Amino acid sequence: MDRLMIDPKDVYISPETPQFSFEKTIPVVLVFLGIYVAFKNIHHVMDVLQYIHDQWIVWWDRITHQIEETRLKMHVKNGTFYQSIDKNI
């Protein structure tokens, strides 16, 4: 039974023992809260990325269509016939 007893002289408590402090806790809580909100709202982020992707495709189609129309006008103007393989113009 004496072996299980702890002598108070053998226990050393440092005066610099870390104590609970809000200065260190609040940033940690905010980081975890931010991560939680980010994962909770990931579908909104994906919706925005999908919208940007769709707008890029629309813009690219407009640009390539304008290029095709310009090429067609130039060939017709020069007296040669030009027909796009992609579009039956």
User: What is the pLDDT of the chain when averaged over all its residues?
Assistant: 75
With respect to residue 7, please indicate whether it lies within any of the assigned structural domains: no
Q: What is the reported pLDDT for 84?
A: 46
pTM of the shown model: 0.38
H/E stretch holding 16 reads: none
3-class SS of residue 84? coil
Number of domains in the chain: 1
Q: What is the reported pLDDT for 51?
A: 93
With respect to residue 71, please indicate whether it lies within any of the assigned structural domains: yes
With respect to residue 73, please indicate whether it lies within any of the assigned structural domains: yes
Surface-to-core class of residue 55, CB atoms within 10 Å of its CB (0-12 exposed, 13-18 middle, 19+ buried):
exposed
Name every residue whose Cβ is closer than 8 Å to that of residue 82 and which is 6 or more positions away in sequence. 71, 72, 74, 75, 76
With respect to residue 31, please indicate whether it lies within any of the assigned structural domains: no
3-class SS of residue 6? coil
Q: pLDDT higher for 81 or 6?
A: 6
Segment 27-47 shows an average pLDDT of: 86
Domain assignment of residue 65, given as a range: 42-89
With respect to residue 29, please indicate whether it lies within any of the assigned structural domains: no
